[in-house]
Amino acid sequence: MTDTDGHLAAVHERLRNACRRAGRNPEDVGLIAVSKRQTVAAIRDAYAAGQRAFGENYLQEGLDKQQALAELAISWHFVGPLQSNKTKAAAEHFDWVHTVDRLKIAQRLAQHRHASATDAPLDCCIQVNLSGETSKSGATAAELPELAHAVARLPGLRLRGLMTLPEPADNEADQRAPFAELRRLLEELRSEGLALDTLSMGMSADLEAAILEGATLVRIGTAVFGPRD
Ligand SMILES: *Cc1c(COP(=O)(O)O)cnc(C)c1O
């Protein structure tokens, strides 16, 4: 048994317990192992323990790892900030992009995906910057409806839902507040006719709060791999 086996088992246990509290089916919550600044060997260990979805924040680091792990059937999720000049590589080499935050980025991803050898559309989420966040990334709640409808119309992309990365909070009530807000925004878009099924929210410190508020994909780094250097 490697450390990763034990860590992954502990994360699955937390996911199961949170789903029990929430009255949800654990099969409805996907685990993305966020492997930024972790080694290729650590990813192999997690893969050997059954993990299939991995998230990367830095494009070049992600591409290097994909090349080193090309024989593994991994689903790669891009979860970092995305600049225009990186959209081609992201569209060609990742299965999901969680951090679409403006139309120009979405249009470039769509163009490059369309021109690539891949038949499948690129699954994506719009990153939402909820009130109180200091980060510059993410569309505001006010920008969201127009952006979401425009992204949903782009061929080559499949808009799946919303993602957020709130400021850390140390108690569950405060952790839940932004997740509840994201869920409300998703439900609003659905009521406007968009077929969305994904809430990408929850990390090592707040996955329980995210699951209680309806997360369908949690993005877990340190609880799976241990601390990053
Ligand atoms: C690093 C990162 C994570 C994982 O964070 P942990 O606290 O290590 O679980 C999740 N999502 C994004 C966007 C990240 O950058």
CB contact at 8 A, 98 and 116: no
CA pair distance 11, 160, nearest whole angstrom = 24
DSSP assignment letter at 28: G
Whether pLDDT at 215 is above 90: yes
CB contact at 8 A, 116 and 156: no
Task: Tell whether ligand 1 has an atom less than 6 A from the beta carbon of residue 111.
Answer: no
Distance (Å) from CA 115 to ligand 1 centroid: 31
Task: Tell whether ligand 1 has an atom less than 6 A from the beta carbon of residue 165.
Answer: yes
Percent of the chain with pLDDT over 90: 92
DSSP assignment letter at 74: P
What does the domain layout of the chain look like in residue ranges? Answer: 3-225
Phi, psi (rounded to 5 degrees) for 185: -65, -40
- Verdict on whether the full-model pTM lies above 0.95: yes
CA pair distance 104, 142, nearest whole angstrom = 17
CB contact at 8 A, 156 and 121: yes
Which is the closest atom of ligand 1 to the Cα of 79? Answer: 13
Distance (Å) from CA 34 to ligand 1 centroid: 6
Which two structure tokens, joined as six digits, stand for 167? 């400021």
Considering only CA atoms, give the Rg of the chain. 17
Domain 3-225 in CATH 3.20.20.10? The answer is yes
Q: Helical H runs in 23-86?
A: 40-48, 59-68
- pLDDT at site 1: 64
CA pair distance 66, 36, nearest whole angstrom = 12
Mutate to test the pocket of ligand 1, among 11, 35, 57, 129 (most ligand atoms within 8 A of CB): 57
CA pair distance 143, 141, nearest whole angstrom = 6
- pLDDT at site 132: 64
Higher-confidence residue of 136 and 170: namely 170
Task: Tell whether ligand 1 has an atom less than 6 A from the beta carbon of residue 163.
Answer: no
Q: Strand, helix or coil at 81?
A: coil
pLDDT, mean over the chain: 96
